[in-house]
Each structure stands twice: as C-alpha cells, then as structure tokens.
C-alpha cells in the first residue's frame, strides 16, 4: 500500500464525524448509525416498508460495519504506522541470528537474548 493511499485514508478519518459511532434502531421501521451524546446525530440510516418492518440481514451487517469502521480504521492505520517504524528500524539489522534464537516464536519483547538492535526493540515497544 502506498504512502499516498495511507495519507488519503488518514485524511478521510480526520474529516469524518468524531466517534465512536453506534447502530441504533430508532423507530419501528428504521435503523441507523449515530454519533452519540445527549442528542445523537444520524450518520446514515435504513428504513423498511411500513408493512413488514423487517430488516434484511445484510443491512444489519452493513450498518455494524459502518459503525465500527469509525474506530477500527484509525486503529488499523495507527498499527500500520507502528509496524512501518519497526521495519524502518530493522533495515540495518543483521537478522541472521534470529533463526538461532531459542525463543524466536515468542513475542519479541519477551526475548531475553537481545538479538534485536535497540532501535528495533524500541519501535516494537511503542503502541
């Protein structure tokens, strides 16, 4: 994924209404995604016909996705940024010794063998 795409995704997140968002059934035949507070503001909604009052399963799933995307996407972008720092810090790292480390399958922060350079360990510790 290019840096331009990541920047565009970050810009969309910053421009969107602050979160968290939540899915709410707000009348007999309508459900939507709202930004909370004392007087919630509607982000989007779906209304059924007045006769059936049944929502397709896909609508409920789509609205769940929309509601969670407001917090999920920024979290994913933050993790991508953290991992990019780890990759950048490890560019000069000689990882030949990693295969010989007895705890290579454990999380790096639990490794007591200090096979990772300090810059890599520091980048891995940042959350």
HSE at residue 104, side-chain half, CA atoms within 13 A, is 9
Instruction: For residue 39, report the phi and psi dihedrals to the nearest 5 degrees.
Output: -120, 85
This prediction has a pTM of: 0.66
pLDDT value of position 86:
79
Mean pLDDT of 67-74: 95
Tokens encoding 44 = 């989007």
Q: Which residue, among 96, 84, 78, 82, has the nearest Cα to 117 in the 3D structure?
A: 96
**pLDDT band at 67, cuts 50/70/90?**
very high
CA gap 125, 96 in Å, rounded:
22
Q: Is the pLDDT of residue 94 over 70?
A: no
Judge contact between 60 and 94, C-beta under 8 A: no
CB 38 within 8 A of CB 46: no
Under DSSP, the state recorded for 116 is S
């Amino acid at each position: 994924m290019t840096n331009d795409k990541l920047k565009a995704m970050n810009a969309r997140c910053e421009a969107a209404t602050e979160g968290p968002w939540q899915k709410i059934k707000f009348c007999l035949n309508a459900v939507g995604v709202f930004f909370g507070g004392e007087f919630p503001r509607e982000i989007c909604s779906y209304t059924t016909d007045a006769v059936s009052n049944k929502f397709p399963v896909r609508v409920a799933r789509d609205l769940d996705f929309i509601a969670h995307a407001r917090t999920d996407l920024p979290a994913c972008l933050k993790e991508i940024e953290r991992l990019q720092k780890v990759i950048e810090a490890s560019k000069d790292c000689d990882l030949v010794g990693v295969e010989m480390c007895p705890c290579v399958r454990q999380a790096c922060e639990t490794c007591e063998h200090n096979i990772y350079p300090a810059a890599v360990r520091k980048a891995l510790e940042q959350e």
